[in-house]
Chains A and B, each alone.
Chain A
Amino acid sequence: MSNIPYAVEVEGLTRRFGEFTAVDHISFRIRSGEVFGFLGPNGAGKTTTIRMLCGILPPSEGTARILGVDVARSPDRVKQNIGYMSQRFSLYEDLTVQENLEFYAGIYRVPRRERGRRIRELIEMAGLVGREHELAGHLSGGVRQRLALGCAILHRPPILFLDEPTSGVDPTSRRRFWDLIYSFAAEGVTVMVTTHYMDEAERCHTVGLIHRGRLIALGAPDDLKTSQMRGQILEIDCEPAMEAIDVLMPLPEVQEVALYGLLLHVTVANAAQATAPIRSALSAAGITVRSIEPVPPTLEDVFISLVRPAPSS
């Protein structure tokens, strides 16, 4: 879609609110056509960063360039090139699906003769055929989200910013939404997306993890699992799992215990050495151990190990 290798270039981007530094000198680049997952705990600075990249919020320091254009200097030029779907995207609840799309086509100045065809295209893409005349206020969460996405891309922006687009959406709808994201990426659209779902993050080409305003990890999910994980993971299938957590936490071998469904992921320095003492501690506490085996870390393991404050010992 463009000859510029990097669709987004961020250098030393910083935003302060009074005494508080929400975003603290972060730098990264996103290649054109890449799906970039932006992760971090609540309040880490994700939304503030995206708002700066969209030209909605001026940075206190540093620069962001979108397709080579400085956002702070030319916010209007940037806005033509981006689609932004915020956490609280505004659909007009008392307008129909069709009317919402027409409204946004007007705002984005989609040429009149193209409007009909473009809206038709988006209705098909978002799976909204047959629902054109339903009020947006009556749509379920997943369908609303797809309509909001449709509204954000009416003007065919080469770059999309999606801020928690699947929050509160059911698993099936979430999947359909991600299939859409990938179909855009295949057409060369660059996507930056925030999410709290680690299975979604696993699907991104690159992820950046922001914590307390700082970018603390950046890379492909597979690379982060090898470079950022400060230990090894033992997966334990035992009963009752909740009591096992209390038994495991105080053990010197154990750095972290996390529930995966009903399995436990235990972070240890050395899986081979830790297995025996863990097994005997669980048995001594009367916990039935079905299996203990080393497994490769998931992105969720990496996230937790980077974000969880070290226990104050």
Chain B
Amino acid sequence: MIERKRKVAETTDRYAVQAQGLTRHFGDIIAVDGLDLQVPRGQIFGLVGPDGAGKTTTIRMLCAILPPTSGTARVAGYDIVREPGRVHEHVGYMSQRFTLYGDLTVEENIRFFADIFGVPARQREEQTAELLAFAGLEPFRHRRAEHLSGGMKQKLALACTLIHEPDVLMLDEPTTGVDPVARRDFWKILYTLLGRGVTILVSTPYMDEAERCNRVAFLSEGHLLATGTPDEMKRRLPWQVLLLRARPQEEARRIAQAIPGVVDVEIMGDALHLFVADAAAVLPALERALSGRGLEVRALRQITPSMEDVFMQLTREAERIL
């Protein structure tokens, strides 16, 4: 099915998603506030931000499941307010709590979604087979969904989302709670879909995943705080980043925090990231302080900031501004 030439919506829009002033209130709470967003066709676009930033609400509006309080958006060439039915036809949506029928088999779940989306009977067999192969679920086709591992459930949910050949995929934290190996497999599938021309909007709490997106938008308390390619966002950081891997780490952290010019120290796995205004100025003082205390320094160098560094910085800015 996906192999076949894609039926792209009758439009020449450069953007698969174009939102203007998208706003949603829940009573007194403004979950999303005047959001402008553009997702170029054929790209993978990451939506990141602190918990409660409005990511899920945004995705649900863009899928035409939740009407906006004001503002509008065109998705896959259709207006989410005036043509929600059209949007549903062209968009695949995988919610955080996707619904699989635990007592149905893998194959039966896919068939069930084919029914819902009105996939013609003659195409159904072929598409089911293709999706099973595509998601690597062929060996498990007769297993009940409730007996699948977390990673396989996620793949099955994605397969169900693809049954009606959507042009645009909206994935709300698809890999939360999934182990590292399954997470990688899932992303390989996403890249295959991209290669076939599908546009993907994905929200994620994993910054290594944000790193792989063509563009990223950072939301906080319903506002769009920053958007761009991961590289652009890193260049906008007001600090340089030093990586320090030393033992014992807690002591290294205390020493680093006391060096003038070190703005912040974050633990990143087995290393520390130091946010500094001027790396060249800080490095000699830091080296002296560390060797003076006899710490074992395994690595100390300036690095390109990661998306996780960007996230920390933007969260801090958001706490100041909002």
Measured CB to CB, the residues of A under 8 A from B are 40-43, 87, 140-143, 164, 167-175, 178, 196, 198-200, 202-203, 221-222, 242, 245, 258-262, 298-300, 303-304, 307-308
A-B contact pairs, 7 of them (CB 8 A): A170-B311, A173-B51, A175-B312, A261-B212, A261-B306, A262-B230, A307-B179
In the complex with contacts A222-B270, A261-B307, A142-B50 CB distance below 8 A: yes
Closest Cβ–Cβ distance, residue A243 to chain B (whole Å): 9
Question: Does B222 lie at the interface of the complex (its beta carbon under 8 Å from any beta carbon of A)?
Answer: no
Whether A140 pairs with B50 at a CB distance below 8 angstroms is yes
When the two chains form their complex, are residues B181 and A307 in contact, meaning their CB atoms are under 8 A apart? yes
Q: Contact check, B269 vs A262: say whether CB atoms are below 8 A apart.
A: no
Stretch from B71-79, B170-178, B285-293 forming part of the interface with A: B170-178
A170 near B179: Cβ-Cβ < 8 Å = no
Q: Does B180 contact A (CB under 8 A)?
A: yes
Q: Which residue of B lies closest to A241 (CB)?
A: B212
Cβ of A170 and Cβ of B51 under 8 Å apart? yes
Interface string of B74-93 (1 = CB under 8 A from A): 00000000000000000000
B312 lies within 8 A of A172 (CB): yes
CB of B160 to closest CB in A, whole Å: 19
Residue contact B270 to A221, C-beta cutoff 8 Å? yes
Known: A43-B150, A261-B212. A171 touches B311 (CB 8 A): yes
Say yes or no: A42-B178 contact (C-beta < 8 A), given A170-B50, A173-B50: yes
A175 in contact with B177 (CB, 8 Å): no
Q: Mark B296-322, 1 if CB is under 8 A from A, else 0.
A: 000000000011100110010000000
Given A140-B50, A196-B180, A221-B270, residue A171 in contact with residue B151 (CB < 8 A)? no
Pick from A169, A196, A259, A261: contact of B178, CB below 8 A: A196
A202 to B267, CA, bound (A): 10
- Docked pose: A262 CA to B182 CA in angstroms: 18
Query: Is B278 in contact with chain A by the CB < 8 A criterion?
Result: no
B183: nearest chain-A partner, CB-CB: A196
A-B contact count (CB 8 A): 105
Across the A-B interface, give the 6 residue pairs with the lowest CB-CB distance, nearest first: A140-B52, A42-B150, A261-B211, A202-B269, A140-B51, A141-B51
Shortest distance from the beta carbon of B80 to any chain A beta carbon, whole Å: 25
**B183: min CB distance to chain A, Å:** 8
Nearest residue (CB) in B for A242 is B191
Which of A178, A262, A298, A308 is close to B181, meaning CB atoms less than 8 Å apart? A308
**A259 CB contact (under 8 Å) in B149, B187, B230, B315:** B187
Distance in angstroms from B27 CB to nearest chain A CB is 11
Please state if A168 and B176 are interface contacts (CB–CB under 8 Å). yes
Say whether B184 contacts A40, CB under 8 Å. no
A20 to B208 CA separation, bound complex (whole angstroms): 35
Chain B residues near A245 (CB-CB < 8 A) = 188
Which residues from chain A contact B183 at a C-beta distance below 8 Å?
196
Are the C-beta atoms of B180 and A303 separated by less than 8 Å? yes
B205 CB within 8 Å of chain A: yes
Give chain B nearest CB distance to A205 CB in angstroms: 11
Shortest Cβ gap from B41 to chain A (Å): 18
B179 touches A42 (CB 8 A): yes
Most buried by A among B49, B187, B266, B308: B308
Which of chain B's residues has its CB closest to A263's CB? B211
B182 x A42 contact (CB < 8 A): yes
